[in-house]
Chains A and B, each alone.
Chain A
Amino acid sequence: MSGAEPGREAAVAGGWELVVGLEVHVELSTATKLFCGCANRFGDEPNTNVCPVCLGLPGSLPVVNAAAVDFAMRLGRALGCEVRPAVFARKNYFYPDMPKDYQISQYDQPTSIDGSLELAGGHVVGIERAHIEEDTGKTTHVGGGGRIHDAAYALVDYNRAGVPLVEIVSRPDIRTAEQARAYVRELRAILLSIGVSDARMEEGSMRVDANVSVRPAGSGELRTRCEIKNLSSLRSLGRAITYEARRHVDLWSSGERPRQETRHWDEAQGRTTPGRSKEDAEDYRYFQDPDLVPLSPSAEQVAAIDAALPALPAARRAELLAAGAGAVSASDAALLVERDQDALVRAAVAVGADPGLTATRVSNDLAVDDWSRVTPDGLAALIAMETSGRVTATQAKQVLAEMVEAGDDPVAIAERRGFQAMAGDDLAATVDQVIAGNPDEWQRFCSGDDADRKKLAGFFIGQVMRATRGRADGAAVNRLLQERAEPA
């Protein structure tokens, strides 16, 4: 995936550059909604978590959830933003997903402004703002059946109405579809590490809209953009950006220009289609909500949030790479941090395990939900057995799998399973026996070209494995074969 970067090819090939900014809505994992005590819970029976406030009944008044504000400020600081005094505003529109006929949001005075996010690859994307707002209800369109006079209707569930959201608006600093995906992945990793959201795109607790435009490469101008909605996966995000960029390049190249509009991504058709928003739909007539007083975080409050922030993914990757002293790959580091296994690897390395092999073994062979029984000492002992040749790579994987289940000492597991060092002399003797038993193959191995040699090496290693019941180290067998074919 990462090698192709279709967005870059599409937009840059003809001298065009892709310009993307992302708006990400994140549901905060508070116990209750933003302005009332109804449970904030996904998947409940429709309209069971509703009250006069989130139904917008006359006379009800909103009261801000302190935890939602705390989460939003934590997120702001994790994104390097200035967290500042903020005012809630009403965004007015008529749509049945919002029973009050306005959504409470923050407009010209948001909680967080001016931050940045560094992607795993090092590219930095600016954050314009991150503001608090309430989620809307969920509408489900029913019926229609293609016939215009069919009794089509919509169903509305207000369980989600009033759930706290933070909308994170990036600057248009994203230049490829792959960077857009990396941005969302990194944002998700940050959200998970600071514990403010479960950030599940497929459940809608993290929703991404992409503002896409193109410009002549290197020009620095900002041309007409389209906002792409309905992106429910990273795959959709990448495909939609690539499609939209190509559409813009085609329009500009043929002397036309894109219209500024909202477009919907159609995953099945693989294209974007214009939304049907009316021309005056953008007139939301924002004004300060008279029912809510401003938020005014003190310097002490912000300092306390900073002090309590955990190490963020970018810092953890850097720490792991430093601990690996060049032996841990960037992709392993990203994966290990994403899986929360970086501390385990660093602890094993700290007690003497080989960094490169530890990172590889854990990233390849510890992709399980519960690895709590694997201790740094146990892992280091296993890696030591593998580096010293006491167990083969295959055996090490089997031992690790048993450590996950039983949490035993790897030495004990290896002994119980009969994995033990095959003395070098024993292995050499076995290799010689196999060669003697297959003279034709050996002749072809010695005289053949590289391809033959590779194929036949596989054959001989297989024979040796069979003779040793899997206890031989494949790499060692190969070394012995090469030595015997070309005596020094």
Chain B
Amino acid sequence: MSGRISRDEAAHVARLARLRFSDDELDELAAQLSAVLDHAADVEALDVSGIEPTSHPQPLTDVTRADEVRPSLSRDEVLAQAPSVAEGQFRVPPILGEAP
């Protein structure tokens, strides 16, 4: 195990993803994440100068649609999925802090 990711870093990532783990689980995940980074480091060791970075496996660009309105869902159907509804809107717990 390379230890590229510490338990604290694993805890930080877990917190960003709103996941809670025990210390044992964090150690296990840190080891797994470190192994992933080890693999990335292997790739990084290759000489890739002159190779275009690939963002997608398919050689596609500019896939677009025309700016034409399509029917939306019915509001009743949409709100039926929500655990709590008020005034035609999704009702959510009070939010601390602002949107990023």
Contacts and interface: CB of A to CB of B under 8 A. Distances in A.
Interface of A: 30-32, 36-39, 45-52, 55, 63-69, 85, 87, 91-97, 136, 139-142, 144, 152-158, 229, 262, 264, 275-278, 280-285, 288, 290, 292-297
B24 interface: no
Contacts of A30: 67
A293 B95 contact: no
B65 to A, nearest CB: 5
Contacts of A262: 98
A64 B65 CA distance: 6
A154 B64 contact: no
Interface string B55-86: 11010111111111111110100110000101
Nearest to B73: A51
Contact of A66 (B65, B78, B91, B95): B65
B84 to A, nearest CB: 8
A38 B74 CA distance: 12
B50 interface: no
A17 to B, nearest CB: 30
Contacts of A282: 100
A47 B88 contact: yes
15 contacts: A37-B69, A47-B75, A47-B78, A48-B72, A52-B73, A65-B67, A66-B67, A153-B94, A157-B88, A229-B98, A276-B97, A280-B12, A293-B61, A295-B62, A296-B61
A293 B54 CA distance: 11
Contacts of B58: 293
B2 interface: no
B54 to A, nearest CB: 10
Given A142-B86, A294-B55, 20 more contacts: A32-B68, A39-B69, A50-B72, A50-B75, A51-B70, A52-B73, A63-B63, A64-B64, A64-B65, A139-B95, A153-B94, A154-B95, A155-B87, A156-B91, A262-B98, A264-B98, A285-B16, A288-B55, A295-B61, A297-B62
Contact of A153 (B64, B72, B93): B93
A293 B94 contact: no
A31 B16 contact: no
B41 interface: no
Interface of B: 12, 15-16, 18, 55-56, 58, 60-73, 75, 78-79, 84, 86-100
B98 A37 contact: no
Given A154-B93, A156-B90, A283 B67 contact: no
B73 A293 contact: no
A159 to B, nearest CB: 9
Contact of B91 (A155, A264, A295, A297): A155
Contacts of A293: 55-56, 58, 60-63
A25 to B, nearest CB: 12
Nearest to B96: A276
Most buried by A among B63, B64, B86: B64
B92 A65 contact: no
Nearest to B59: A293
Which of B15, B64, B67 has the most chain A CB atoms inside 10 A of its CB?
A: B67
A55 B81 CA distance: 11
A282 B91 CA distance: 26
A38 B69 contact: yes
Contacts of B97: 275-278, 281
Given A94-B18, A295-B61, A38 B90 contact: no
A46 B68 contact: no
A39 B70 CA distance: 8
Contact of B89 (A46, A63, A85, A285): A46
B78 A50 contact: yes
A157 B85 CA distance: 11
Contact of B95 (A50, A93, A96): A96
Contacts of B86: 142, 153, 155
B61 A46 contact: no
B89 A157 contact: yes
